[in-house]
Amino acid sequence: MTVGIPAAKPARPFFSSGPCAKPPGYSLDKLATESLGRSHRAKIGKARLQLAIDLMRDVLQLPATHRIGIVPGSDTGAFEMAMWTMLGARGVTTLAWESFGEGWVTDAVKQLKLEPTVLRADYGQLPDLSKVDFADDVLFTWNGTTSGVRVPDGEWIPDNREGLTFADATSAVFAYDIPWDKIDVATFSWQKVLGGEGAHGVLILGPRAVERLETYTPAWPLPKVFRLVSKGKLAEGVFKGETINTPSMLAVEDAIFALEWAKSVGGLDGLKARCTANAHALDKIVAERSWLGHLAVDSGIRSRTSVCLTVEGADADFIKKFAGLLEKEGAAFDIAGYRDAPAGLRIWCGATVDTADIVALGPWLDWAYAQLTATAEA
């Protein structure tokens, strides 16, 4: 198959699944700088951290029952903070259908020495959610960034659950409706749907999680950056902009810019619409090509943000060359699938990506595939 080099490239060829494309119109000179070089404990530092929290609450439509804290270590740090401080009070069930879910299994088994019930599924699939025992604390990823699989909704989580629900929601928040009454703990980082910077995580606690923290002391020691309780009470300052360790105020200003952009495009509804339009545009590209497929065959559980694709006959070396060709041409950056996932492509369709760039990517996928298959045939 001979395919000529496409005439036009995506205007912003940033399709990485984290850190993701910056919001349209972004530039460093648009960030507020008054807090830079100042202490995060100074009045201005605390005010900007509180603004970031307030904007997150506004855009996420988070109820007043849930607290928001900015914590170290990106989504990983936030989720591990939750695990280390709250698990061990009752049984644990972990759901794993991609690499990060497996990481939480490893932490529960090898680090915390718990004996969790583990419900697994292969990449591209979900475990049977009807088998989850909510007498346990339940850990899951809302949207599997490395598998392109998401839970369909929150209907599988009962209102009368005994255990806590822990949702790693890093590539789900700002892209889907999250039923916050079903979620006791949620974590994410700014680097996904908001296109923010890495390093900082966000921890959301519902009232049942706060009760756990104030009534249960884990058997293991906690490092300083994990401590959320002081003298038996929640450290409320963490949820008012008083971070446990020193944050990057530049990253905070970057997140504030992204959140204000989010409000400018219609808030949560606008962000969801952009994600959906991008995913539909990529669906059309896949449907028109026999050599492309979705790793998540069931569209009802397919991600609308981190979309994972199969490529006919491809192995890891083929995918590396495929992604390399497109990067060299400046047509698409960072689209190889995650290292632990089946060989394939991963195209970020989050809200900061413009649909026109997804559409423009299609001919470039044809070109790269033709280049490599022609070489193999020769």
Structure confidence by residue, pLDDT tens digits, 255-297:
999 999 999 999 999 999 999 999 999 999 999 999 999 999 9
**Cis check: omega of the bond before 19, within 30 degrees of 0:** yes
Strand ranges for 125-254 from DSSP E: 137-141, 143-144, 149-150, 165-168, 185-189, 200-205, 229-230, 233-234
Question: Given this model, what pLDDT does residue 376 score?
Answer: 66
**What's the mean per-residue pLDDT of the chain?**
96
Query: Using an 8 Å Cβ cutoff, are 258 and 20 in contact?
Result: no
Question: What is d(CA 306, CA 324) in angstroms, rounded to the nearest whole number?
Answer: 19
pLDDT in tens, 46-83: 999 999 999 999 999 999 999 999 999 999 999 999 99
Place of tokens 């949620």: 186
Distance of CA 98 to the CA centre of its chain: 13
DSSP annotation of 240: G
Query: Using an 8 Å Cβ cutoff, are 251 and 28 in contact?
Result: no
Question: What is d(CA 129, CA 138) in angstroms, rounded to the nearest whole number?
Answer: 11
pTM recorded for the entire structure: 0.96
Question: Given this model, what pLDDT does residue 319 score?
Answer: 98
Tally of CA atoms within 13 A in the half-sphere of 344 that contains its CB: 24
How far CA 229 is from CA of 55, 168, 215, in Å, comes to 25, 22, 10
Instruction: With a cut of 50, list the residues of the chain below it in pLDDT.
Output: none
Query: Homologous superfamily of 267-377 in CATH?
Result: Aspartate Aminotransferase, domain 1 (3.90.1150.10)
Question: Given this model, what pLDDT does residue 377 score?
Answer: 65
Distance of CA 344 to the CA centre of its chain: 19
Both tokens of residue 329? 């041409």
Question: Given this model, what pLDDT does residue 67 score?
Answer: 98
Question: What is d(CA 51, CA 33) in angstroms, rounded to the nearest whole number?
Answer: 14
Provide the residue count of the chain.
378
CATH of domain 28-263: 3.40.640.10
Q: For the chain, give every domain's residue range.
A: 28-263, 267-377
Question: Given this model, what pLDDT does residue 378 score?
Answer: 55
